């Protein structure tokens, strides 16, 4: 779980990013809520519902929910979206506000909470033309976690194994293979399968990231 200082820092990042996202969502109209997000098959509204579900998830609740979903992560996530998606954007946003200060988490490294608020924040913002300047430390921590986490647990360890990732705007260098350079946020999104970020990157390793999943 890490030292008390580390835990406190993670939650300060997460809570700040949730608050910033809520602020952005308050300005959307109903059509924008139904805009396709960067998550395949999910609208902006669906991603917000997923964030509500994730913020409310406890370690025990995650295990129970996964068992009920027959250990299918996709099925479990879909059920969470259905459960937390309100009848209107206003209702779903109200649910996110109520959950925003929570510190519950599924059984995963605590930095996974940072990954979630940053990546899903971009899943929502980029299709809508919104921008957010995320803390460099938050994005760097997210990249490092995903680079050492196997794909079976939602990470990108196998994908980045033949690469050397170097951020041009943060102190992040991972691996010793084919070079991939670019903004830290774009590196994070690219290794998380968000192909929209690939054009922000340079280096021979970019072709590896462009290969079909």
The fraction of the chain above a pLDDT of 90, given in percent, is 79
The pLDDT tens digits of the residues spanning 91-100 come to: 999 999 999 9
pLDDT tier at 75 (50, 70, 90 boundaries)? Answer: confident
pLDDT at 5 over 60: no
Of 122, 126, 119, 127, the C-alpha closest to 145 is 119
Per the CB < 8 A criterion, the answer to whether 164 and 177 are in contact is yes
Q: What is the pLDDT of residue 66?
A: 63
* 62 vs 156 pLDDT, higher one: 156
Top mean-pLDDT range of 7-16, 149-158, 181-190: 181-190
Average pLDDT over every residue of 6-32: 91
- Provide the whole-model pTM: 0.90
The pLDDT tens digits of the residues spanning 108-140 come to: 899 999 999 999 999 999 999 999 999 999 999
**DSSP at 168:** S
Q: 117: helix, coil or strand?
A: helix
């Amino acid at each position: 779980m890490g030292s008390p200082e580390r835990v406190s820092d993670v939650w300060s990042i997460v809570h700040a990013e949730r608050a910033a996202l809520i602020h952005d969502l308050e300005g959307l109209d109903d059509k924008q809520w139904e805009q396709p997000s960067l998550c395949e098959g999910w609208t902006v509204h669906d991603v917000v519902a997923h964030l509500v579900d994730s913020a409310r998830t406890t370690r025990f609740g995650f295990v129970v929910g996964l068992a009920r979903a027959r250990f299918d992560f996709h099925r479990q996530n879909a059920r969470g979206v259905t459960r937390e998606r309100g009848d209107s954007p206003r209702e779903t946003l109200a649910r996110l506000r109520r959950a925003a200060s929570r510190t519950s988490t599924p059984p995963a490294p605590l930095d996974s909470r940072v990954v979630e608020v940053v990546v899903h924040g971009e899943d929502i913002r980029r299709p809508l033309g919104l921008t957010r300047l995320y803390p460099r430390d938050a994005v760097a921590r997210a990249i490092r976690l995903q680079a050492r986490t196997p794909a079976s647990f939602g990470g990108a360890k196998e994908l980045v194994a033949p690469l050397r990732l170097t951020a041009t705007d943060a102190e992040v260098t991972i691996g010793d293979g084919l070079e991939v350079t670019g903004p830290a946020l774009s590196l994070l999104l690219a290794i998380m399968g968000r192909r929209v970020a690939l054009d922000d990157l340079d280096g021979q390793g970019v072709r590896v990231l462009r290969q079909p999943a």
